[in-house]
Structures are given as structure tokens and as C-alpha cells.
């Protein structure tokens, strides 16, 4: 499946179905992240049951140092 991930076009492996699979794929499932898919912000619980599709726009954000 081809998606836009944090602004970059990415080909995801075939086994990926849910948002949680993406997080595991990039080994960030234990980090504090927030995911938005096609402009919809997901709660942590929704990572498990939000299915991805071709051309989805995924944003994965986190907290960084700032004032």
C-alpha cells in the first residue's frame, strides 16, 4: 500500500493493515506519539482498529523541546 507518511511518499509492506501495524513497523509503538489519518486525529485506542488504505495521508507527531 502506498501512503503519504509525514509528507513523504512511502510504500508500506503488505502485512500492514492497521495504524498500530505502522507504528510497530517503524518500531515506535512504545513511544509517545499521536497519529492523524486524513486529517482525523486518533486516540491511542483507535490505533488498533483504524484500517489504512492506499493514498492515505498519515501524520505521526510527538513532543519535542520547545518554549
Partner 1 sequence: MLKIGPYSFQSRLLLGTGKYPNYEIQKNAVEISEAEILTFAVRRMNIFEPSQPNFLELLEPSKYTLLPNTAGAKTAEEAVRIAKLAKASGLCDMIKVEVIGCDKTLLPDPVETLKATEELVKEGFIVLPYTSDDVVLARKLQELGCHAIMPGASPIGSGQGIINPVNLSFIIEQAEVPVIVDAGIGSPADAALAMELGADGVLLNTAVAAAKDPVKMAKAMKLAIEAGRLGFEAGRMKKKRYATASSPKEGMITG
Q: Does 61 bind partner 1 (CB under 8 A)?
A: yes
Q: In the beta sheet, which residues pair with residue 51?
A: 18
Query: Quick one: residue 47, left, alpha or beta (phi over 0 = left, psi -120 to 50 = alpha)?
Result: alpha
Nearest to 52 by CA among 32, 36, 67: 36
Q: Does 55 bind partner 1 (CB under 8 A)?
A: no
Candidates 1, 4, 5, 18; binder of partner 1 (CB under 8 A) is 5
Candidates 2, 38, 41, 51; binder of partner 1 (CB under 8 A) is 41
Three-state SS for 49? Answer: helix
Give the number of residues in contact with partner 1, rule: CB under 8 A.
Answer: 24
Q: Which residues bind partner 1 (CB under 8 A)?
A: 5-7, 26-28, 31-34, 36, 41-44, 59-67
Amino acid at each position: 500500500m502506498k501512503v503519504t507518511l509525514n509528507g513523504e511518499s512511502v510504500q508500506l509492506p503488505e502485512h500492514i493493515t492497521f495504524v498500530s501495524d505502522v507504528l510497530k513497523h517503524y518500531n515506535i509503538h512504545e513511544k509517545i506519539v499521536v497519529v492523524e489519518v486524513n486529517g482525523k486525529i486518533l486516540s491511542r485506542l483507535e490505533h488498533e482498529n483504524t484500517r489504512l488504505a492506499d493514498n492515505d495521508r498519515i501524520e505521526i507527531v510527538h513532543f519535542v523541546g520547545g518554549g
